[in-house]
Chains A and B, each alone.
Chain A
Amino acid sequence: MLKKNVIEVKDLVKKFGDFVANDHLTFSVQKGEIFGFLGANGAGKTTAMKILCGLLTPTSGEVYVNGYNVYTQSELIKKNIGYMSQKFSLYDDLTTFENIQFFATIYGLSKKQIIEKTTILLEEFKLYDIKNHLVGDIPLGWKQKIAFLIATFHNPSVVFLDEPTGGVDPITRRQFWELIHRAAASGTTLFVTTHYMDEAEYCDRVSILSEGKLVALGTPDDLKNQYKAPSMDEVFYKIARNADV
Chain B
Amino acid sequence: MKAFWGFVRKEIYHILRDRRTLIVILGIPIVEMLLFGFVLTNEIKKVNIAICDLSNDEITKQIIKKLEGSSYFRVTSYLTNIQNVEAIFKEGKVKEVVVFEPDFSRKLTKENHASIELISDASDANFSNLVVNYTSAIISAYTKELNNTLQGSYRIDPQIRMIYNPNLEGVYFFVPGIIGLILMLISALMTSVSIVREKETGTMEALLVSPLKPFHIIVGKVLPYVLLSLLNATAILLMSYFVFQLPVKGSLFLLMLECLLYILLALSIGILISSSTNSQLIAMMVSLVGLMLPTILLSGFIFPIENMPRILQWLCSILPPKYFIIIIKGIMIKGVGLQYIWFETLMLILFTLLFLGLAIKKFKVRLV
Which A positions have Cβ atoms within 8 angstroms of B? 16, 50, 53-57, 74-75, 78-79, 81, 83, 85-94, 98, 101-103, 105-108
Given contacts A75-B211, A93-B18, A108-B3, contact A55 B366 (CB under 8 A): yes
Bound together, the chains give a CA A94 to CA B17 distance in angstroms of: 8
- A106/B17 in contact, CB under 8 A: no
Among A56, A81, A87, A89, which residue has the most Cβ atoms of chain B within 10 A?
A: A89
Q: Do residues A89 and B14 form an inter-chain contact, with CB atoms below 8 A?
A: no
In order of increasing CB-CB distance, the 5 nearest A-B pairs are A87-B202, A105-B6, A89-B206, A83-B209, A106-B3
- Majority SS of interface residues in chain B? helix
Q: List 6 A-B contacts (CB under 8 A).
A: A86-B202, A87-B201, A91-B13, A91-B14, A92-B201, A94-B10
What chain A residues lie within 8 Å of B210 (beta carbons)?
78, 103, 106-107
CB pair A93–B17 under 8 Å, yes or no, is: yes
A107, B202: Cα distance in complex, Å: 18
Q: A78-B209, A107-B3 are in contact. List 4 more A-B contacts (CB 8 A).
A: A81-B209, A85-B205, A94-B14, A106-B207
Q: Which A residues touch B208, using CB under 8 A?
A: 55
CB distance from A59 to the nearest CB of B (A): 11
Number of B residues with CB within 8 Å of any CB on chain A: 24
Q: How far is A93 from B367 in the complex, measured between Cα atoms in Å? A: 25
Once A91-B14, A103-B206, A106-B7 are accepted as A-B contacts, the answer to whether A56 and B367 lie under 8 Å apart by CB is: yes
Q: A89-B205, A108-B211 in contact; A98/B13 too (CB < 8 A)?
A: yes
Q: How far is the CA of A177 from the CA of B7 in the complex (A)?
A: 31
- B245 in the interface (beta carbon within 8 A): no
B307 within 8 A of A: no
Complex Cα–Cα for A53 and B203 (A): 15
Q: Are B211 and A107 in contact, with the CB atoms below 8 A?
A: yes
B212 on interface, CB distance cutoff 8 Å: yes
Which of chain B's residues have a CB closer than 8 A to the CB of A108? 2-3, 211
B87, chain A: closest CB distance, angstroms: 67
* CA gap between A88 and B10 in the complex, in Å: 17
Contacts of A16 in B (CB 8 A): 368
Q: A56 and B366: CB pair below 8 A?
A: yes
The smallest beta-carbon distance between A189 and chain B, in angstroms, is 16
Asked if A79 and B211 sit within 8 Å, CB to CB, the answer is: yes
Q: What separation, in Å, do the CA atoms of A105 and B212 have in the docked complex? A: 10
Q: Give the residues in chain B near A107, CB-CB below 8 Å.
A: 3, 210-211
CB distance from A206 to the nearest CB of B (A): 24
Chain B residues with CB under 8 A of A98: 10, 13
**Which residue of B3, B14, B17, B202 contacts A105 across the interface (Cβ within 8 Å)?**
B3
Asked whether, in the complex, the Cβ of A106 is within 8 Å of the Cβ of B211, the reply is yes
CA distance A85 to B203 in the complex (A): 9
In-complex Cβ contact of A55 among B17, B209, B211 (8 A): B209
**Neighbouring B residues of A78 by C-beta, 8 Å:** 209-211
Chain B residue at smallest Cβ distance from A80:
B211
How many whole Å from B23's CB to the nearest CB in chain A?
16
> Considering residues A53, A91, A92, which has the most beta carbons from chain B within 10 angstroms of its beta carbon?
A91
CA distance A91 to B16 in the complex (A): 14
A108–chain B nearest beta-carbon distance, Å: 6
A85-B206 in contact (CB<8A): yes
Most buried by A among B7, B366, B367: B366
Which of B6, B207, B366, B367 has the most chain A CB atoms closer than 10 A to its own CB? B6
A108 to B208, CA, bound (A): 15
